[in-house]
Structure 1
Amino acid sequence: MRTRLAIRMHALLERHFPERRLFLRSDTDTRFIRLKPGTQLMAFAGGAAVVAWAIIATAILLMDSIGSGNYRDQAMRDQTIYQERLNAMAEDRDARADEALAAQDRFTSALDQISVMQSQLLASETRLRELETGIGVIQSTLRKTVKERDTARDEAAQLKLTMAEAGGGAGGKGAPDDATMSFLTSALADTAVERDTISNDAQDALLAADEMATELALMRDQNDAIFRQLEEAMTVSIAPLDKMFRNAGMNTDSIINQVRRGYSGQGGPLTPISLSTMGEEPSPDAARANRILNQLDRLNLYRIAAEKAPFANPVHANYRFTSNFGYRRDPKTGGRRMHAGVDFAGPVGTPLYATADGVVIHAGWSSGYGRLVKIQHEFGIETRYAHMSRIRVQKGQRVSRGDRIGDMGASGRVTGPHLHYEVRIGGKAINPMTYIKAARDVF
């Protein structure tokens, strides 16, 4: 049975692939190669497989090329959109920075106005007390003079009566002499002039007191207007900062207390400020000024805290935002894994900047991170800058916000040049965009 099947198969192959012989002739010899039908079939099948593979590979490459072109077009459109958004964000940030500088100038001017106002208030209170004391002395002198005048009149009347009685008893010869009468008349005239002078002085003092009261009322109105402007300026300036910290999930009271403890020495920039007058209980205006100064102190604390927290963008040049925080498809393995930061793509050598004041705790190579810089900030915050092409800081170095710490690169486990930026609190990774977006309306 097998022989018959083999014969039939051989006959079928012979029909399509008849046996062939290839003669190879040389100068001294002639040889031939016998090509059996089975060998020809295998050669034909191999050639067909190669041609089919070439056709499929060409089709795949063509489709991939077409798809890559579409991806490039989409990437270009996305890049244009991101660039427009970045330009808008940059313009908004510059506007907020100008507003912050203008607000700082207003605060400085307001502080000078408060100092002048305090001096004027102290001078006004001193003048008012002096006038009140002078009026009291004048009134006391006036009462004393009036009393002395009345006493002199009573004594003069009594003297006249005595002299009249003495003159009557002596037969009309005891009339007061001219010298005595002239002395009494002169004393009474002097007393009257002094009384009139003191009365006029008292009237002038009362008029001056009325004028001073009017000036004080005008000054109080001016002070009230200045206070209202300062209070509104403080509210407008502190509210965005408070919102920024709260949007970042930070406890504002805890942060303020922590910064205040760091600047509590005498003569420090945050020494508690007070405004009082003459060592007495502060007036309503003084208490109001103290509240404004306390708000100014809180604003200064917010400013210092904002410098110590990563409320900034590590890349100031043009870039493309390529990866969010959270779980994503791994670009190397294709699996799903946690991405503990955000990626900013740009050319190799793009400057990278510290996002807050702090101390460099690592500056060197770190496996998948490549060239890595770690900065420790206040409030238990740490930032990481990975895949650098060059590191420009050293371990233990203290940096400030905006200091250049390195250049963008493609070191470590990457698919292209970019910055991998992380923010960690207590070792736990959080979304850096929380801080960047929270500061968008402030800086």
Structure 2
Amino acid sequence: MLPVLKRFASRINTALDRHLPEQRLYLKSDTQTRFIRIRPLTQLAALSGSVAFVGWGMVASAIVLMDGVSTGSGKMAAARQQAIYEQHLNAISDERDMRADEAAQAQRRFNAALDEVSQMQSRLLLAEDRRRELQAGLEAVQGMLRTTVDERDAARDDARQLKVALADRTDGDAAEAGALLTAMTDALADTTRERDAAAETAMIASAETDELSEQRAAMQARNDAIFTQLEEAVSTSMEPLDRMFRAAGLDTDDLLREVRKGYSGAGGPLSSISMSTMSATSSPEEERANAILKGLQDMDIYRIAAMRAPLSMPLEARFRYSSPFGYRNDPKGAGRRFHAGVDMAAPIGTPILATGDGTVIRAGWVNGYGNMVEIRHNFGIETRYGHMSKIRVKAGDKVSRGDQIGDMGSTGRSTGSHLHYEVRVGDKVVNPMTFIKAGKDVF
């Protein structure tokens, strides 16, 4: 086998000799001169090694350069994203302040309108009482007038009968009858004057009744316009809050009922309105005013619920979203699987914050999650924070929005430092981004 390899090497050296002739390296000492022959095959091997080393150096330098460029681009992109995010937060803050000012102005306008409505209702009730009194007086005058007319007609009949009887009597009887007739004529004249006075009083009362009716119609039209504006203002303010909680996957009716359980006291400026105690049934104005008050109460309850729900961000430091909610390719190669939360990547030790007020129900090692904290909030909502490097709370602790509950890490089933943030409503997992986006309308 060895002679075959030698012949094969000799043939290769012969073929390469035209391009890489044999070289000799002389080594001279004091007593003798020696040389080392460098055959073409050895030269080819040395040249190939040199080319490979130089090529490897160029490739490595290019990789390092590209990595530096990509790192710089990533930092610039992160800086731009941070600037855009801060601008968005400033815009949201300005809009929140503007909405708060609008709500305060609407409350002041509503209070002023309620005072004006109350005054108009008082004047309307007084006008209604006056109209009823005039109506009763008119009916009494009309009854008196009818009685007077009947008496006049009866007196006329008596006069005709007396004239007929007078023709058959003596002169003495005629004188007596004449005196009686004169007395009856005077009484009839008095009755006629009373009738005319009653008719004039009835006409005046009718005119006053018509004027009061017109004033009442004008006041009702003005009240209707005020109530319409208030109803539109309440509806406009309620719709964004209602959409926010529905977008977060919450039943607004159940949410209102649960908040009312903790705020069930009565009284104060938003109590139901009762304009009159003369009848058991409510007037349309009372019903509309009470509906507006209920809308304002619901708005207050929505604000209370927004402060108690987990709607804030679990991180204040800079981060990037590394994995969304839903089905994805498993990062450890386990195929396509469902991801029950969102992943936010940042350096190890980044503070992790509670997204809402609640009670810690679990704090420790959980399979898959690593070091995990689970918090129970109001309205049947629970949040989970996984892969922590350090846990700073224990089960049973009460936490508030913004409290630090741990440090970011890569414990459990993880490929790098990040936070796995998960939200559950009842026994159902929901997309945490729904809560985060909804919270931007509040905070």
TM superposition score category, shorter chain reference:
0.5 to 0.7
How many residues end up aligned between the 2 structures?
404
| Structure 2 partner of 1:41 | none
| Structure 2 partner of 1:62 | 61
Letter in 2 for 1:74: S
Letter in 2 for 1:234: V
Residue pairs, 1:120-139, within 5 angstroms: 120-121=120-121, 124-125=124-125, 127-139=127-139
| Structure 1 partner of 2:86 | 87
Note the alpha carbon deviations across 1:209-239, whole angstroms, 9 max, x for none: 2232222222222222223323332332333
SS of 1:92's equivalent in the other structure is helix
Question: How many angstroms does 1:154 deviate by?
Answer: 5.1
| Structure 2 partner of 1:24 | none
Q: Distance in 2 between matches of 1:52 and 1:268?
A: 90
Q: Distance in 2 between matches of 1:272 and 1:419?
A: 47
8 Å contact from structure 2 (residues 350, 408) kept in 1: no
Q: Distance in 2 between matches of 1:201 and 1:360?
A: 82
Q: Which moved more, 1:78-87 or 1:125-134?
A: 125-134
The reply to whether residue 378 of structure 1 matches residue 378 of structure 2 is yes
| Structure 1 partner of 2:218 | 218
| Structure 2 partner of 1:229 | 229
Q: Which has the higher contact order (CA 8 A, sep 6+)?
A: 1
8 Å contact from structure 1 (residues 167, 173) kept in 2: no
Q: Distance in 1 between matches of 2:204 and 2:317?
A: 73
SS of 1:375's equivalent in the other structure is strand
Question: How many angstroms does 1:285 deviate by?
Answer: 4.1
Q: Distance in 2 between matches of 1:121 and 1:233?
A: 22
Superposed CA RMSD: 5.3
Q: Distance in 1 between matches of 2:172 and 2:6?
A: 199
Question: How many angstroms does 1:84 deviate by?
Answer: 3.2
Note the alpha carbon deviations across 1:19-72, whole angstroms, 9 max, x for none: x9xxxxxxxxxxxxxxxx9xxxxxxxxx99x99998788667534422321221
| Structure 2 partner of 1:314 | 314
8 Å contact from structure 1 (residues 373, 385) kept in 2: yes
Question: How many angstroms does 1:135 deviate by?
Answer: 1.6
Question: How many angstroms does 1:127 deviate by?
Answer: 3.1
| Structure 1 partner of 2:260 | 263
Q: Distance in 1 between matches of 2:330 and 2:242?
A: 37
SS of 1:314's equivalent in the other structure is coil
Q: Which moved more, 1:161-170 or 1:82-91?
A: 161-170
SS of 2:362's equivalent in the other structure is strand
Letter in 2 for 1:242: D
TM-score (norm 1): 0.66
8 Å contact from structure 1 (residues 390, 408) kept in 2: yes
- Compared CA separation, residues 290 and 16, structure 1 to 2 (3 A): same
Question: How many angstroms does 1:79 deviate by?
Answer: 0.6
| Structure 2 partner of 1:170 | 172
| Structure 1 partner of 2:42 | none
The reply to whether residue 105 of structure 1 matches residue 107 of structure 2 is no
Residue pairs, 1:37-436, within 5 angstroms: 62-105=61-104, 108-109=107-108, 111-112=110-111, 113-114=113-114, 116-117=116-117, 120-121=120-121, 124-125=124-125, 127-144=127-144, 147-148=147-148, 151=151, 158=158, 165=166, 169-170=171-172, 174=176, 189=190, 198-250=198-250, 252=251, 255-260=252-257, 263=260, 267=265, 278-316=278-316, 319-326=319-326, 327=328, 330=331, 340-344=340-344, 353-363=353-363, 372-386=372-386, 395-399=395-399, 403-406=401-404, 409-413=407-411, 419-426=419-426, 429-436=429-436
Task: Show structure 1 runs of 5+ residues with no match.
Answer: 10-14, 21-36, 38-46
Q: Distance in 1 between matches of 2:114 and 2:368?
A: 57
- Compared CA separation, residues 407 and 426, structure 1 to 2 (3 A): closer
| Structure 1 partner of 2:40 | none
8 Å contact from structure 1 (residues 348, 407) kept in 2: no
8 Å contact from structure 2 (residues 371, 388) kept in 1: yes
Q: Which moved more, 1:415-424 or 1:427-436?
A: 415-424
Q: Distance in 2 between matches of 1:384 and 1:109?
A: 42
Percent of paired sites with the same residue: 31
- Compared CA separation, residues 292 and 341, structure 1 to 2 (3 A): same
8 Å contact from structure 1 (residues 167, 174) kept in 2: no
8 Å contact from structure 1 (residues 96, 442) kept in 2: no
SS of 1:211's equivalent in the other structure is helix
Task: Show structure 2 runs of 5+ residues with no match.
Answer: 9-21, 28-35, 37-45
Question: How many angstroms does 1:406 deviate by?
Answer: 0.5
Q: Which moved more, 1:418-427 or 1:65-74?
A: 418-427
8 Å contact from structure 1 (residues 372, 384) kept in 2: yes
